[in-house]
Amino acid sequence: PQAEIAKSAKIGAGCRIDAGAIIGENAVIGERCHIAAYAVIGNGVEIGDDSRIGLHSTLTHAIVGKRALIHRGVHIGQDGFGFAAGSKGMLKIPQLGRVLIGNDVEIGSGTCIDRGASTDTIIGDGCKIDNLVQIGHNVKLGKYVIVVSQVGISGSTQVGDFAQLGGQVGVAGHMQIGKGAKLAARAGVITDIPDGETFGGFPAVPVRDWHRQTLA
């Protein structure tokens, strides 16, 4: 009874909604979901069956698939970092897209996923995202991508299925990271990465070249 649930929201059978949670107008919560204390589910957000939303998390402008595990303090659907220089300073670019999250996705504490600017930000089925990850607007992660803690992925980058990004990897905007590619921890990606390749270093280069640089 201490939760705030809009009358227009649709709550599936068997859900648990803890004290202090807020569920907005026209939100749709699937069956057997758990919305933890003080989580905020914004207007029109959809969450699939058997999903768990951690305490103090916020979701807006998002559609989440089935069996999602979203840990505490995750923020999904806020504006991306979009500005243009003008005669009066930095002008904010409207962010109009959504965040689409597939089935069986896990998102660690403190992670932020921005809504798309013009197209949607997409997190594919089975992705596993660690704590403290920043995913910018219009980013598209394929299926079963692994993203380790403190990774930053700039806007409009596309990551192929089964790719793996090690801790503190930084990816510039509009990059293409191929299917099955692997990026060593703290790699700085400023070029496209081919399918199946392993890169490391800053700037990121094929891993054998990186080791040669380190030895030199």
Active-site residue among 34, 61, 71, 137?
137
Establish whether the linkage from the previous residue to 203 is cis, with ω within 30° of 0: yes
Give the integer Cα–Cα distance in Å for 60 and 115.
8
For the stretch 208-212, contacts whose Cβ atoms lie closer than 8 Å and that sit 24 or more positions apart, written own/partner, are 210/184
> Quick check: helix, strand or coil at residue 9?
coil
Q: What is the DSSP letter of 159?
A: E
43-63 burial, b for 16+ CB within 10 Å, e for fewer?
ebbbbbbbbbbbbbbbbbbbb
Question: Could you tell me if 113 and 121 are in contact, meaning their C-beta atoms sit under 8 angstroms apart?
Answer: yes
Pairing of strands 134-135, 170-171: unpaired
34 is catalytic: no
Q: Which residues are catalytically annotated?
A: 137
